[in-house]
């Protein structure tokens, strides 16, 4: 994990270095479509937020691979053969020289981009030419949400190297093997009944396992308690709604299985350091 403070003046000078140039449909390091809102550079990584008006770009590619997180608005990700609609909270990893174009649908579309130099791939022993397109979601990666908040609110970046590797290679944690059918059923209940406040007793009755044994085996396999797992799933559900819905904070709290709005606000702030309302403001500022 590497932490860096924001260096606006240093970055501003780097925008005009010889490596930042455009040649036809190729975008070189640090170059993106749209208007730059914030930017931060380290030796091997760059973070830049961009704002796009309603438009359709031409086909192009970037010399460096990068992650792009959609903060607000909508756009189509297009190749010669495909068209994917990208919604807020979607995370796209585009490999080096990936050929695509974008149709920005809403009047204002805001993205956060994390760009990787070839040297970064070398230090992680990952061949940058062997990586593939990946499309994921912020709410499934709490550390990515923290990185996002750090950049938008605090003007700093806290890079989690294992997280970045997972997002790039697609090699997410698959160590957990749900060998017991009842454990698989329990996880399914918790994942699909977000709005329900489950007790250990009610869960044990549904999977026909003693509460103490159920709790012990769940933590062994999942790495967290049943209670914490429930909270994490509820927060993921609520975070997605904060990105893509205009519902009130109170409505999101109830739909995500929190007791009430204050309970949701306290929990969100404990995990992320800011309130849901503040987070929503950052996304749209």
Strand partners, 75: 86, 104
* 266/271 Cα distance (integer angstroms): 9
> How confident is residue 129, by pLDDT bands cut at 50, 70 and 90?
low
The count of other CB atoms within 10 Å of the CB of residue 117 is 19
Per-chain mean pLDDT for the chain: 85
Q: Between residues 154 and 100, which one has the greater pLDDT?
A: 100
- From residue 133, how far is each of 57, 145, 186, 266, 282 by CA, in Å? 19, 21, 32, 36, 27
How many residues would you count in the chain? Answer: 285
Tell me the mean pLDDT in the region 20-45: 82
Q: Between residues 29 and 17, which one has the greater pLDDT?
A: 29
The C-alpha angle with vertex 242 and arms to 237 and 278, in degrees rounded to 5, equals 125
Entry pTM: 0.79
Q: Between residues 161 and 93, which one has the greater pLDDT?
A: 93
> How confident is residue 168, by pLDDT bands cut at 50, 70 and 90?
confident
The count of other CB atoms within 10 Å of the CB of residue 260 is 10
CA within 13 Å, CB half, 59: 10
Predicted confidence at residue 153, as pLDDT, reads 85
CB burial readout 186-200, b (16+ within 10 A) else e: bbeebeeebeeebeb
Q: Between residues 172 and 143, which one has the greater pLDDT?
A: 143
Tell me the mean pLDDT in the region 160-189: 74
Predicted confidence at residue 246, as pLDDT, reads 81
Judge contact between 134 and 171, C-beta under 8 A: no
> How confident is residue 109, by pLDDT bands cut at 50, 70 and 90?
very high
Tell me the mean pLDDT in the region 179-206: 90
The percent of residues in the chain predicted with pLDDT above 90, rounded, is 62
Q: Is the dihedral of CA 101, 96, 144, 257 positive or negative?
A: positive
Q: Between residues 64 and 12, which one has the greater pLDDT?
A: 64
Distance of CA 251 to the CA centre of its chain: 23
Tell me the mean pLDDT in the region 90-114: 95
The C-alpha angle with vertex 121 and arms to 118 and 124, in degrees rounded to 5, equals 155
> Which two structure tokens, joined as six digits, stand for 215?
């709790």
> How confident is residue 77, by pLDDT bands cut at 50, 70 and 90?
very high
68's enclosing H/E stretch is strand 65-72
> How confident is residue 19, by pLDDT bands cut at 50, 70 and 90?
very low
């Amino acid at each position: 994990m590497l932490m860096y403070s924001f260096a606006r003046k240093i970055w501003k000078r780097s925008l005009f270095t010889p490596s930042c140039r455009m040649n036809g449909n190729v975008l070189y390091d640090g170059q993106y479509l749209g208007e730059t809102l914030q930017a931060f550079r380290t030796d091997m990584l760059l973070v830049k937020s961009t704002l796009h008006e309603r438009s359709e770009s031409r086909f192009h590619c970037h010399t460096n691979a990068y992650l792009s997180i959609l903060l607000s608005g909508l756009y189509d990700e297009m190749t010669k053969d495909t068209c994917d609609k990208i919604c807020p909270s979607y995370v796209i990893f585009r490999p080096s020289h990936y050929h695509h174009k974008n149709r920005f649908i809403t009047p204002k579309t805001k993205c956060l981009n994390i760009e990787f130099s070839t040297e970064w791939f070398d230090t992680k022993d990952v061949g940058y030419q062997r990586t593939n397109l990946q499309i994921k979601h912020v709410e499934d990666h709490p550390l990515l949400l923290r990185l996002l908040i750090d950049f938008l609110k605090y003007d700093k970046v806290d890079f989690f190297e294992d997280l970045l590797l997972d997002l790039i290679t697609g090699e997410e944690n698959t160590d957990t093997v749900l060998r017991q059918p009842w454990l698989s059923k329990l996880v399914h209940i918790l994942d699909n009944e977000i709005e329900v406040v489950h007790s250990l007793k009610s869960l044990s009755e549904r999977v026909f396992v003693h509460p103490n044994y159920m709790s012990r085996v769940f933590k062994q396999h999942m790495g967290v308690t049943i209670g914490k797992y429930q909270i994490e799933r509820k927060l993921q559900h609520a975070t997605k709604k904060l990105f893509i819905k205009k519902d009130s904070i109170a409505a999101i709290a109830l739909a995500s299985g929190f007791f009430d709005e204050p309970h949701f606000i306290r929990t969100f702030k404990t995990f992320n350091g800011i309130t849901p309302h503040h987070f929503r403001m950052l996304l749209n500022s």
